[in-house]
Structure 1
Amino acid sequence: MMKEYEVILSPVDGSEQSELAFKKAVHVAKKINAKLVIAHVIDTRAIQTPSGFEGNFSDEIIRQTKVMMDYHEKIARDHGVKDVETVVDYGSPKIMIAKDLAVKNHADLIMIGATGLNAVERLFIGSISEYVIRNAPCDVTVVRTDLENYSKF
């Protein structure tokens, strides 16, 4: 008999695609009684200036991230997910999701949106979801549809 997933990693970045994936991750986690790890990676390359990291700018990003993570945790708990954890980390989102966060949190499933916010990186380097699919140590589900399986795009 196939073992059920125990830990679902749901990376969020505020994009519509990541919200679709998050909603499905909440649904699946509740249905199979899995732990839901909601993660956001602050891309340090995007906030670095020639003189380093600007204090006020960085503080605002951290404040906005906390608001976003609190919101997602509340949604998950309100929908009946019993075991919810939020994680904020720094670095390259695709590397952190595929290699560090998946391993550190013992994820056996990553549910990720098809595209995220960073169109420039996607154009030149490849999408985060593409990298995660190729490099994650666990199963990856790329979500393109809402809970009724309708595409919004």
Structure 2
Amino acid sequence: MLQQYQHILVPVDGSKEAEVAFKKAVAVANRNGSETELRLLHVVDTRAFQNISSFDTSMVEQVTETAKKTLDKYVEEAQAQGLTNVSYTIEYGAPKTIIARDVPNEMKADLIMIGATGLNAVERLLIGSVTEYVTRTAVCDVLVVRTDLENKPIKKTDNN
């Protein structure tokens, strides 16, 4: 029996891994039929701003505007590849629970496609990995994308 996914969630954060997860999700959505929903999600981690003494709302607005531009580009790219049911959501708060539970419950997701973490073992131990948390606690299937569209390991860049 072939699993048909109808509601695919793709968290994107501007990383190379997230971009590759998006591209693979478009391919999966296309294979699963025209009714498949592809929802992109960007989470602005508001906890990151709590330690900044000069924090003001303009910082969050700037991050949100950058995210919107990236997400709009992704939606256009998905539509150019034939998807019609593509949307995005920008949420604010703790990425782990928003990606693993909140948005998947709200949209009735049956698959989360997420990029593999770029953290090494020590970094994961100290600050935790969103991907690791999502794979342990998600309310639906999770596919961790570790390879590019040719199934070769994702090359790290100086920006990663």
Change (3 A) 1:121 1:57: farther
Aligned to 2:28: 28
Report 1:67-106 matches (<5 A).
Answer: 67-106=69-108
For residues 142 and 133 of structure 1, the distance between their equivalents in structure 2, rounded to whole angstroms, comes to 8
For residues 145 and 17 of structure 1, the distance between their equivalents in structure 2, rounded to whole angstroms, comes to 9
Aligned to 2:58: 56
Structure 1 stretches of 4+ with a deviation exceeding 6 A read none
Change (3 A) 1:92 1:152: same
For residues 81 and 10 of structure 1, the distance between their equivalents in structure 2, rounded to whole angstroms, comes to 14
Q: Calculate the aligned-residue CA RMSD, in Å.
A: 2.1
The one-letter code matched in structure 1 to 2:15 is S
Change (3 A) 1:52 1:132: farther
Aligned to 1:9: 9
The one-letter code matched in structure 1 to 2:96 is K
Stretches of structure 1 lacking an aligned partner (at least 5 in a row): none
Asked if structure 2 preserves the Cα contact closer than 8 Å seen for 1:41 and 1:93, the reply is yes
Under a length normalisation based on structure 1, what TM-score does the superposition of the two structures give?
A: 0.90
The SS at the match of 2:102 is helix
Shift, 1:108, TM fit: 0.1
Shift, 1:56, TM fit: 2.2
The SS at the match of 2:23 is helix
For residues 65 and 118 of structure 2, the distance between their equivalents in structure 1, rounded to whole angstroms, comes to 20
Stretches of structure 2 lacking an aligned partner (at least 5 in a row): 156-160
Q: How many residues align?
A: 152
**% same residue:** 49
For residues 92 and 121 of structure 1, the distance between their equivalents in structure 2, rounded to whole angstroms, comes to 18
Change (3 A) 1:133 1:83: same
